[in-house]
Amino acid sequence: MSAVLTDTRGGPTPAAVILPWEKPARTGPDFPGASRAAEARLAEAVGLAASIGVAIVHSAALPLRTRRPSTLLGEGQVESVALAVKEHHVQVVVVDAALTPVQQRNLERAWGCKVIDRTGLILEIFGERARTREGSLQVELAHLEYQRTRLVRSWTHLERQRGGFGFLGGPGESQIEIDRRLIGERIVKLKKELEQVRRTRGLHRRAREKVPHPVVALVGYTNAGKSTLFNALTGASVYAQDQLFATLDPTMRAIRLPSGRTVILSDTVGFISELPTQLVEAFRATLEEVAAADVILHVRDVAHPDSAAQRADVLEVLNEMAEGPDAALDPEWTNRMLEVLNKADLLGGLDQAAERGAGEAIAVSALTGEGLDRLRLALDERLSAGMVVTDVAVEPADGATVAWLYQNGEVLAREDGEDAIHLRVRLSQADLGRFETRQEP
């Protein structure tokens, strides 16, 4: 979709962002996201639109009394936006809501420019950010699922084409029917390729289980600082920018904790309110990394004015993953979650940030490094819960067993004797079973 937003005259495309919203006090079903302040939601929508390189020349939050089937907005609001479009020479209007194909077509006619809704905008961003083949497949699948419902407004040459010869002559497929068929065929192919990706990920996870290192997955609202925290903990140089959806493709690195234990840290795609259903399904392969994690680090931008609402949005997506017969997350996933309050430097320090958290939440600044030592210790403690401490004696010549214990467990004490090496080791139940199997004659 990137070609849609290209200004043939050169330079950024002039764009407007419109936020239709209903007041929370309104009775009846609320418009999605009505629990948030309109100003905060509009600022997020402007940030989303700006992240694809357009120039925001106008933005407005328009209260809705009722949602009109034809245009969503009221007649007066449509006219006021049309005046702004003409005044600022707007080429693209972003409506931060889900538009039906009919609403999108009618608004384009009324405003004389391209109109995209929230789903189309997020797909545009994802299309620019995907780097790996897996990410590209996921974005293409989501885009086709979205576009398939909008072919009714994508073509003007819908007259039937004649086809065949002699008695086979007659009306052939219309252009829209051809496009639907081709899109359907491509969707089937993409789903098969993504299923292969899931199988490959499953093989990788099983391989990690054979030489088990715990997996710690970073999750959180987009632009919460997950990639910056990932780089600070691992010393990696994963792309991290102050922009929404800077990370789409999962990245994994091994890190050492204070106990000497090795863990695998996984950086994943950020969540957002009203995440399009097409993307939730398309990115299932990526989200499965979260499901397989031993610890889920929920990274919050504690300095953001809407931090509490962002937290609720992330938990809602994770809850959806834990529901239904094909649930990716187990019902006890909350027991594996540890909350990280990031960007404490913007609030004046760790103490000020900690006041906005609860329970075991840990305040850090991924940018300055404050609080990271405490986070590493907390990860050690969380991973040690449920582990057992056992005393073992190993023959001095059996260096392989000693090395195995150091690699797979946490050696708390060691005493080298003439006849045996005595070790006190903390092991997981699974590793204890593997060790006992090794010791069997």
CATH 2.50.20.20 holds for 213-384: no
Q: What is the mean pLDDT of the chain?
A: 78
Q: Which of these CATH numbers, 3.90.1150.10, 1.10.760.10, 2.40.50.100, 3.40.50.11060, describes 14-116?
A: 3.40.50.11060
pLDDT, tens only, 153-208? 444 433 444 343 333 334 445 666 777 788 888 889 988 888 887 777 667 666 65
Phi and psi dihedrals of 120, rounded to 5?
A: -60, -35
Please give the single-letter amino acid code of residue 314: V
Q: pLDDT confidence of 261, banded at 50, 70, 90?
A: confident
b/e per residue 164-197 (b: at least 16 CB within 10 A): eeeeeeeeeeebeeebeeebeeeeeebeeebeeb
| Rounded Cα distance, 4 and 378, in Å | 47
Based on its alpha-carbon atoms, the radius of gyration of the chain, rounded to whole angstroms, reads 27
- What percentage of the chain carries pLDDT values higher than 70? 76
User: Do the domains spanning 14-116 and 213-384 agree at the CATH topology level?
Assistant: yes
| Rounded Cα distance, 183 and 253, in Å | 37
For residue 332, pLDDT over 80 is answered with no
User: Residues annotated in the binding site for GTP, as ranges?
Assistant: 220-227, 245-249, 267-270, 342-345, 365-367
Phi and psi dihedrals of 44, rounded to 5?
A: -65, -45
Q: How many CB atoms lie under 10 A from the CB of residue 333?
A: 18
- pLDDT at 284 (0 to 100): 62
| Rounded Cα distance, 97 and 231, in Å | 34
| Rounded Cα distance, 52 and 50, in Å | 5
Higher-pLDDT residue of 408 and 224 is 224
pLDDT, tens only, 83-141? 999 999 999 999 999 898 899 999 999 999 999 998 888 888 877 766 667 777 877 88
Distances (CA, A) of 309 to 4, 8, 172, 314: 32, 39, 52, 9
* Beta carbons within 8 Å of 360's beta carbon, 6+ residues apart: 338, 339, 378
User: Residues annotated in the binding site, as ranges?
Assistant: 220-227, 245-249, 267-270, 342-345, 365-367
User: Residues annotated in the binding site for Mg(2+), as ranges?
Assistant: 227, 247
* Beta carbons within 8 Å of 335's beta carbon, 6+ residues apart: none
Four-residue CA torsion sign, 78, 81, 86, 91:
negative
| Rounded Cα distance, 400 and 15, in Å | 64
User: Per-domain residue ranges for the chain?
Assistant: 14-116, 126-161+171-210, 213-384, 386-439
- pLDDT at 335 (0 to 100): 84
- β-partners of residue 394 are 421
Pick the closest to residue 333 from 300, 281, 363, 292 (CA basis): 292
Mean pLDDT of 70-87: 94
